[in-house]
Structure formats: C-alpha cells, structure tokens
Amino acid sequence: MHDSIGSLLNSLSVLFSRAVNRPAILFLKITSLFAFPLSSPPNPSSFPGRRCGSNRATLRMATFSASRIAVAAAIISLLLSVTARRDVAAAPLRPFPANATRAEAGERQVMEWVRFMGRLRHSTFQHALAREFPSYSLVVDKNPAFGDFTSIQDAVDSLPVINLIRVVIRVNAGTYTEKVTISPMRAFITLEGAGAEKTIVQWGDMADTPSGPSDRPLGTFNSATFAVNAPYFLARNITFKNTSPVPKPGASGKQAVALRVSADNAAFVGCRMLGAQDTLYDHSGRHYYKECYIEGSVDFIFGNALSLYEDCHVHAIARDYGALTAQNRQSMLEDTGFSFVNCRVTGSGALYLGRAWGTFSRVVFAYTYMDNIITPRGWYNWGDPNRELTVFYGQYKCTGPGADFAGRVAWSRELTDEEAKPFISLSFIDGVEWVRL
C-alpha cells in the first residue's frame, strides 16, 4: 500500500513538472487543484501529457488502487510541492503558517474547500466560479497542425484531475473514432463541435464485447462511446454514435450505448445520439436536452435521470416492435423521470412510448407530434401487472396519428392542465438554477 501511495505521489509530481510552460494555463491548473471533493475517486488508467508546440509528454499509470485518503494525500502533497517551486511562486495558493506540518497544512486546505462548497449552491456556485475563475479553451483537430490535440480523450485528460473552471473543448469537423470518458472530478467542461453532422465521435462496443485479460463482457454501462461522469457538462453541435448494427429481435448482449450521462447538471444542445438498442443511457442526475436528434430501436432512451427533452426529434429504426423509453424509477420517493415537450416522434416499426423498467417508472409527453408508428396501447408493463398500479405515464395535448389516446392502456393518463404543469418547463429539472446555454 505504501509503495502504491509513493508511486502515485511521484507520478503526480512528475506529471505536473512536465506540464506545459504557458503561464496562464499553468496558473489555472494550480488554482483549480486546491479542492478535494468528499467522494470516491475515479479510476483513470492513464494521464496523457499535453501538447505544447512540437513537444508532447506522455505518462502512464498502471494502477490507481490507493484509497480516498491516499488520493487526498497525493493531491495535497502535490500542492505543497508546487508552493515551494520558484517558477510558480506567482500563482498563490491558500497561505499556511511556515511552521505548519504537511498534515496540518493539508487538513487546512481540505477544510477551506468544505467551507467554500458549503457557501455555494447550484446557480450561486456557478456564478461564483464564473467570476473567480477565468475560462480557457482547447482545440481538437484531426490535423495536429490545426489543434492542440488530435483526440478528444487526450484533451480531456490534459485537464486537472480536479477541475473547477469552465474549459471549452472545441472539436473541429471530422469523425473521431475513439471511446471517451469524462472522469468524475473533471467538472465544468464544454464540448463544442463544428456542427452535429460535421463533428462525430464514434465507437462500436456492445454489452457482450469482451474486455480485459479474462475477456469478460463489458456490460451495458461500459459499452458507451461517450461517458459523462462529472457535473456541469455542456455539449453543443456534436454527434455521439455507437456503430454497432441493429440487433435481431430477442438478441442477447447487443445493448450498445452511444452516450451515457451519469452526473448532475448536464445539458446537450443541437446534438445527435445515434445507435440501435440502448442508444442514450440517461443514467442519473438532472439533464436538459434541447433540439437534439435521438435515434434507436429498443429502449433507446433509458435510465433513472430527471431529464427534460425540449424540441427534440426522436426517431425509431426498429425492425419489428421497439420502445422509445425505459425509465427506471424504483421508488415513489425518487425524484426522477423523463419529460418530452414540443418533440417529434417518427420512424419505423411499431413503437411503445415506454416500458416500465422501474416499478415507479415516470414518463410524460406534452405538445409532442407522434407518427403512426406508436402502438395504440402506448405503454408496456414489462410483464409485471403490479407495475400498472405504480407507474406514472401521461400525455398532454399531443398531436399526430400516433397520439390518439382512445386506445391507450387504462393505467396511463391524459393529463389535465394542472397535472401537466410540473412537467412542461425547466422547473421540472430545477433548470432555472443551473441551465446556462
């Protein structure tokens, strides 16, 4: 264990010492590393170095097995070592008494972070950060002559392990065939494409794709082409694609996620999510999707997030029967669910609006156009009649040949004005507090 911690400390120190020598970015890296969230650490397997001119330094960490305390110690040790370096003395951190031990200084740093977080919540937090920390941008381009990086993951990995400033990653036109993961503490990332049809990130994993030395299946969760695990993420004008083919009806292990969102306060504007089975894993947190195109066959919007889909186009490519949503609310105490407002539902096959993955599944469609692909029953109980007593499935002022409520299952509902009101605005996801587009 001590060897692991020592190796981690050395690796972090070397990583920082090899960082680019641009003063502005170096200052931002230092100031954004003063905090340590009180949560489980991520498991990064590598930290590719960043590019500066023609120089690129790359570091690889074989494992990241240290405990949460070890990670805290590593970060604090790095901070203290930085304060002793003359070349970054102009980038001040929180001062501490000269006679303080490293442990005392480290404890003080952590407690200041706790107090700082305690004073700031939601939008107040975001506005405070906007004032205190300037943002900067990075450019990704397939041609290294026109960007800072040639891959999106390298750009993400160049950020501090704990990021507290808004960083814009501009991804120029091109198809980027890579698997991308935003680690849990790299918050406040904006990903901007050159246009949803021009900038594409794609990969082809499925749930049954073998992984690791033992060739164990990845599983649905890890099949994602792009995975967001950090809060305050914003994506604009980019396509997230899983290239796996449409599976045959009843096929096993063919779930293929294009985008997984497992963090709070994430927004997507003008994006495309392309796949077949399980395209968009709307896993957890509060999310906002605006003017997005989402394509799939079975359960292609699924998870247990609290999400608002506004002005989106949902397109089915089912060969036979399919389902648009599979919402996984498990308790009446969970504040989760999907709301579709001013959307369009088109495509092929016969489509359920939703399947009751969770016992208390909650989905609402309002002011939405539905093509004739919607099966008259509308909803499926996942083979469990008991769920008919606990789910919340509703429509409100929807139009189109598939919106006729006359044939719907008795346990769905056509909402009144009062019943629909909580679902049709940003207040559904507390969006007034955090949505900044």
Residue 435's pLDDT band, with cuts at 50, 70 and 90, is very high
Model confidence at 212, pLDDT cuts 50, 70, 90, reads confident
pLDDT at 152 over 60: yes
Identify the pLDDT of residue 106: 58
Q: Is the model's pLDDT at 19 over the cut of 50? A: no
CA 45 to chain centre: 19
Percent of the chain scoring above 90 in pLDDT = 64
Average pLDDT over residues 157-171: 95
The pLDDT value recorded for residue 122 is 45
pLDDT, residue 85, reads 29
Better pLDDT: 298 or 106: 298
Tell me what pLDDT residue 252 has.
87
Backbone angles phi, psi at 418, to 5 degrees: -70, -40
Whether the predicted pLDDT of 129 surpasses 60: no
Across 23-32, 135-144, 248-257, least confident range: 23-32
Across residues 96-124, what is the average pLDDT? 53
Q: Can you say whether the dihedral through the CA atoms of 320, 396, 419, 426 is positive or negative?
A: positive
Reply yes or no on whether the pLDDT at 303 is more than 90.
yes
Per-residue pLDDT band at 107 (split at 50, 70, 90)? low
CB 306 within 8 A of CB 428: yes
72: nearest Cα among 115, 29, 37? 37
Q: How far is CA 300 from the centre of its chain?
A: 16
The confidence band for 297, taking pLDDT boundaries of 50, 70 and 90, is very high
Catalytic residue, chosen from 157, 282, 299, 371, is 299
Query: What is the pLDDT at residue 251?
Result: 81
With bands split at pLDDT 50, 70 and 90, how would you rate the model's confidence at 135? confident
> Residue 236 above 60 pLDDT?
yes
302 close to 275: Cβ distance less than 8 angstroms: no
Cα(282)–Cα(184) distance, rounded to whole angstroms? 16
pLDDT (0 to 100) of residue 203: 98
Which tokens sit at 76?
């604090």
Question: How confident is residue 195, by pLDDT bands cut at 50, 70 and 90?
Answer: very high
Q: Is the pLDDT of residue 94 over 80?
A: no
User: Which of 9-23, 126-140, 142-156, 353-367 is predicted with the least confidence, judged by mean pLDDT?
Assistant: 9-23
pLDDT surpasses 70 at 130: no
Mean pLDDT lowest among 60-69, 116-125, 295-304, 361-370: 60-69
- Assess whether pLDDT exceeds 60 at residue 255: yes
Phi, psi (deg, nearest 5) at residue 138: -125, 155
pLDDT of res. 250: 76
The residue ranking higher by pLDDT, 177 or 89, is: 177
Assess whether 384 carries a catalytic annotation: no
Instruction: Set out the domains of the chain in order of their start, with CATH numbers.
Output: 2-119 (no CATH), 195-434 (2.160.20.10)
Mean pLDDT across the chain, nearest whole number? 79
